[in-house]
Structure 1
Amino acid sequence: MKKWKTLFIALLGINVLGAILIIAFIFQPVDKVNPTPSEKVEGDAELTILAKKADLNVLIDKYLKKEFKNQPLNYKITLTDVVRVDGTIQVFGDDINIRMTFDPIVQKNGDIVLEQQSLSVGKLQLPVRTVLRYVNNNFALPEWVTIDPKNESVYVALQQMKLESDFAVKVQKFDLKNDDIRVRLISRSE
């Protein structure tokens, strides 16, 4: 009978000692940690965004609706394997469907030049320069889009596009056939 009493007291002592050690560790102060200060970023911060045609189609549509909410928008831009512009023009009082397709070419500065690929105006065959001149004079375009009828191209100066935040947009890659679009957002220096 004495043996179990001794073992019981020993076990009780171990439990009490364990409880004291746990309580002692709980109330010990934590080692003081000095947080490392974050590095100050000098210059512009940059972020690369990978996008798909479907996503950009939604963004383009929303941007145009917001930009020209008080004006009738008589065209739509869609990215397929090319940049496609569908719209209507007035000819002798009738609306005629127009479709233009462009090959996008990324410039070194991140802007895009759209080179005319094809043009259809209803069933009429009109010179590309004439149609581009008409579009330039009669379609509501953002101020950072310049139509060059002489060279049958459209210059899209994305860096001049005004965003609500203080960022510049530069295109790195614009491969519509492989749905590989890479855009850089760069914070502008204050």
Structure 2
Amino acid sequence: MMDHRQTRVRRRFNIWFWLFWLLIVMLIGGTVYGAKLALTPNIQTQTAKITPSDANFEVSLNKDQINSVADHYLKRYNSGSQKYRFVIEDDAMLYGSMKVFGQPVDFGMALTPSVTADGNVQLKTKSIAVGKLNLPVNLVLGAFSTAYDVPKWVSIDATHGTILLDLQSVNGPSGLSFAAKTIDIPNDKFVFEGGFK
């Protein structure tokens, strides 16, 4: 009889074969995990609510800057016989010319500015000179308010001798509004708060 020997063929352990399959499993697993992350909605999304007070800011100006801002706004209204100029020196002064009996006459007003409770600016008239005449404040303001177009945000009260600048009604770009906080002429300090409506 023949001896049958069983010969076993022993396979050699090939590391590259197993590393290849490990790489394939990792690629498939990574793709599945990445797809799961990409397709799962993010539940923890938080939206910060911005209140109008978060968008407020302060602007501090000096006399020269206030005069420049006033010149900028008054350019729109300086047409024809109406010419205005607002200057802050020791007092607030409004200069201009108006027609009296068909003739242009220069005028000047000395004003004392103050901040109202709601952030507007009130100008109290100290004196008015038309030409070389010092006239009663209520008479000139009354004639001025009826004879001339003033912006919507300017109110003239001839009885009390005041001019109110309603800063809340001045339409700035994209809903920007301003309110006065401090008007201090002797210390050259003018502070305004800005924000969005």
- Shared fold (TM-score greater than 0.5)? yes
Change (3 A) 1:69 1:125: closer
* 1:112 and 2:121 matched: yes
Which residue is equivalent to 1:166?
175
Which residue is equivalent to 2:64?
54
TM-score (norm 2): 0.69
Describe the SS at the equivalent of 1:62.
Answer: helix
Which residue is equivalent to 2:89?
80
Contact 1:82–1:103, Cα closer than 8 Å, also in 2: yes
Give 1:26-37 correspondences, 5 Å limit. none
Distance 1:143 1:68 in 2: 12
Given the alignment, which residue of 151, 164, 170 partners 1:155? 164
Unmatched tracts of structure 2, length 5 or more: 1-45
Distance 2:49 2:115 in 1: 32
Pairs aligned (count): 151
Change (3 A) 1:173 1:53: same
Contact 2:81–2:99, Cα closer than 8 Å, also in 1: no
Contact 1:99–1:119, Cα closer than 8 Å, also in 2: yes
* Percent identical residues: 26
Unmatched tracts of structure 1, length 5 or more: 1-36
Distance 1:43 1:59 in 2: 25
Change (3 A) 1:176 1:119: same
Given the alignment, which residue of 141, 151, 154 partners 2:150? 141
Which residue is equivalent to 1:124?
133
Given the alignment, which residue of 105, 108, 112 partners 1:96? 105
Distance 1:84 1:69 in 2: 16
- 1:72 to partner: Cα distance: 5.0
Distance 2:58 2:128 in 1: 33
TM-score (norm 1): 0.72
Contact 1:169–1:186, Cα closer than 8 Å, also in 2: yes
